[in-house]
Structures are given as structure tokens and as C-alpha cells.
């Protein structure tokens, strides 16, 4: 089945630094990648939609200059959290449509900003 | 404005009995409804889906029922097993490569 590999699984960074999260589709081409964020005991909130070769579409309230999304190839989408602050600490997950109704999710990245 | 709602944050069921997880939605334009299972610090795992033109879909121990007039769907797990203990998310989407909209999840605990 369709597999999305997400790295790193967890990262701790200092305030003010940037962190890059990668999602790779291993056995299929992901023309679209969705990026979600989950706060503790809350739902998954859509942050942005990336399409290969074009600019990402951000949801209302998501700062595009803070959360940089790049989808340069059919198998790789990246999310860079720039100038991270403690309030950016969260669980970030990517997801891509596969061949069925259910989309494939990465394993998630736990970001802690100290 | 929450388009997908799971009003029960938690549910406890004895092993072997039926687990019924409920979900309501407000957007009548959704074309697919899905259930995902999630463990802490992991991505959601797809369980089962149903098209808006159907009212029931079954896959092994999992059955999803859709009541469009009530804008309500439910996931039945029979028989429940301890390994089913997890957070279950209801999600919905429109046709095409459109994003999933999630409910807040229900934590299911299956007690041996």
C-alpha cells in the first residue's frame, strides 16, 4: 500500500532556530500533500495544502512566512518552521491521497521548542 | 465552525462487546466519510470509509453506518478487542484530492 515516510519523528530546537520536516511518498507519486498540526488532546487541524510545482495554499490564520512549505518533486514535500517559538511546539503530520478513499499519513513529528 | 463533531471524548467497553462510536457533521457537501485509528505520537491509520451515496459499509469487525438525513455516522466494532484501544477520529472530505476535516476524536478503551 501507499506509504508516506516522515522525518524526523521528534526534534527539540532552541527558540529562534528553524526546523525542517520532510515527508516522502515511498511507492507512489504524491502530487498533493496536506500538512496538519495536532495540539494535545485536540483534533488534527489542516495547516496548508501543497501541490507539486506550485505555491502552497495556507489555511486562515496560518502564517505562511513562519511555516514554509515546499513541494519540489512528486515524492517530497517539506515543512520548515522558521524562527521557532515555544508556542510552535506541537505534533505535525503530513498526509497524501493514495489510490483509495483513505489518505496515507506520515508517522508525525513531535516538535519541542525550548 | 466545527464541520465534523465527535461529542463523546471517551468510551469504555468490555472485551467481546460492541463498541459504537458516533460522529455528526454539518456540511452536506461532503462526499466521503472516514474513520481513522490513532495511537499517541503516531500518524492516523485508515480503518474504513463510506461514500455519501451508501448507508452501510462493512469490513471485518468494522461497520460504518451513514444517516444522511440526520447528518450522522457511526462506527461499530464487533467484537471489541483490547488491541482496539486507541483514539478514533471521524473525518470527511469532498470529491477529488481535497483535505480531510477531522472531528476531535473519541478515546476507546476496551477492558479485558
Closest CB to B34 among A9, A46, A102: A102
Mark yes or no for CB contact A95/B105 under 8 Å. no
Q: Residue A106 is nearest to which of B34, B43, B102, comparing CB atoms?
A: B43
Q: What count of CB pairs under 8 Å joins A to B?
A: 55
Residue B1, chain A, CB below 8 Å: the answer is: no
pLDDT at B41: 85
Check: CB of residue A114 under 8 Å from CB of residue A12: yes
What pLDDT, on the 0 to 100 scale, is given for residue B27? Answer: 92
Residues of B in contact with A42 (CB under 8 A): 104
Query: Residue A53 has what pLDDT?
Result: 86
Give yes or no for B62 touching A (CB within 8 A).
no
Per-residue pLDDT tens over the stretch A55-69: 999 999 999 999 999
CA dist list (Å): B72 to A13, B22, B50, B65, B92: 42, 7, 12, 8, 12
| Between A103 and B1, residue with greater pLDDT | A103
CA-based nearest distance B73→chain A, Å: 16
Q: Which of B36, B43, B106 to mutate to test the interface with A (most CBs of A within 10 A)?
A: B43
**Vertex A93: Cα angle to B32 and B103 (nearest 5):** 40
The fraction of chain B above a pLDDT of 70, given in percent, is 100
Q: What is the pLDDT of residues A21-53, one digit of tens each?
A: 999 999 888 899 999 999 887 889 999 999 988
pLDDT at residue B30, as a whole number: 96
Residue from the list A9, A97, A100 with its beta carbon closest to the beta carbon of B97: A97
Most confident of A12-26, A31-45, A90-104: A12-26
- Nearest by CB: B104 against A32, A42, A102: A42
pLDDT of residue A27: 87
Query: Percentage of residues in chain A with pLDDT exceeding 90?
Result: 80
pLDDT band at B12 (very low <50, low <70, confident <90, very high): very high
pLDDT of residue A94: 97
Residue that wins the pLDDT comparison between B2 and B29: B29
Taking 80 as the threshold, does the pLDDT of residue A1 lie above it? no
pLDDT at B40: 87
Q: How many CB atoms lie within 10 A of CB A38?
A: 21
* Residues A90, B67: Cα–Cα separation, whole Å: 35
Q: What values do phi and psi take at B84, rounded to 5?
A: -80, -10
Confidence class of residue A2 from pLDDT cuts 50, 70 and 90? confident
From A82's Cα to the closest Cα of chain B, the distance in A is 22
Amino acid at each position: 500500500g501507499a506509504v508516506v515516510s516522515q522525518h524526523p519523528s521528534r526534534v527539540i530546537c532552541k527558540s529562534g532556530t528553524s526546523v525542517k520536516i520532510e515527508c516522502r511518498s515511498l511507492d507512489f507519486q504524491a502530487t498533493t500533500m496536506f500538512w496538519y498540526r495536532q495540539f494535545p488532546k485536540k483534533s488534527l487541524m489542516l495547516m496548508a495544502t501543497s501541490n507539486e510545482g506550485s505555491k502552497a495554499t495556507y489555511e486562515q490564520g496560518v502564517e505562511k512566512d513562519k511555516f514554509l512549505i515546499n513541494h519540489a518533486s512528486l515524492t517530497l514535500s517539506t515543512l520548515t518552521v522558521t524562527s521557532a517559538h515555544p508556542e510552535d511546539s506541537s505534533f505535525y503530520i503530513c498526509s497524501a491521497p493514495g489510490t483509495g478513499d483513505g489518505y496515507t499519513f506520515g508517522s508525525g513529528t513531535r516538535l519541542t521548542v525550548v | 465552525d466545527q464541520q465534523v463533531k465527535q461529542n463523546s471524548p471517551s468510551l469504555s467497553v468490555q472485551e467481546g462487546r460492541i463498541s459504537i462510536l458516533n460522529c455528526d457533521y454539518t456540511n452536506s457537501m461532503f462526499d466521503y466519510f472516514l474513520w481513522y485509528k490513532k495511537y499517541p505520537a503516531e500518524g492516523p491509520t485508515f480503518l474504513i470509509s463510506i461514500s455519501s451515496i451508501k448507508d452501510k459499509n462493512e469490513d471485518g469487525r468494522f461497520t460504518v453506518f451513514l444517516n444522511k438525513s440526520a447528518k450522522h455516522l457511526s462506527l461499530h466494532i464487533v467484537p471489541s478487542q483490547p488491541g482496539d484501544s486507541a483514539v478514533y477520529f471521524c473525518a470527511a472530505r469532498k470529491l477529488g484530492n481535497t483535505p480531510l476535516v477531522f472531528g476531535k476524536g473519541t478515546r476507546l478503551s476496551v477492558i479485558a
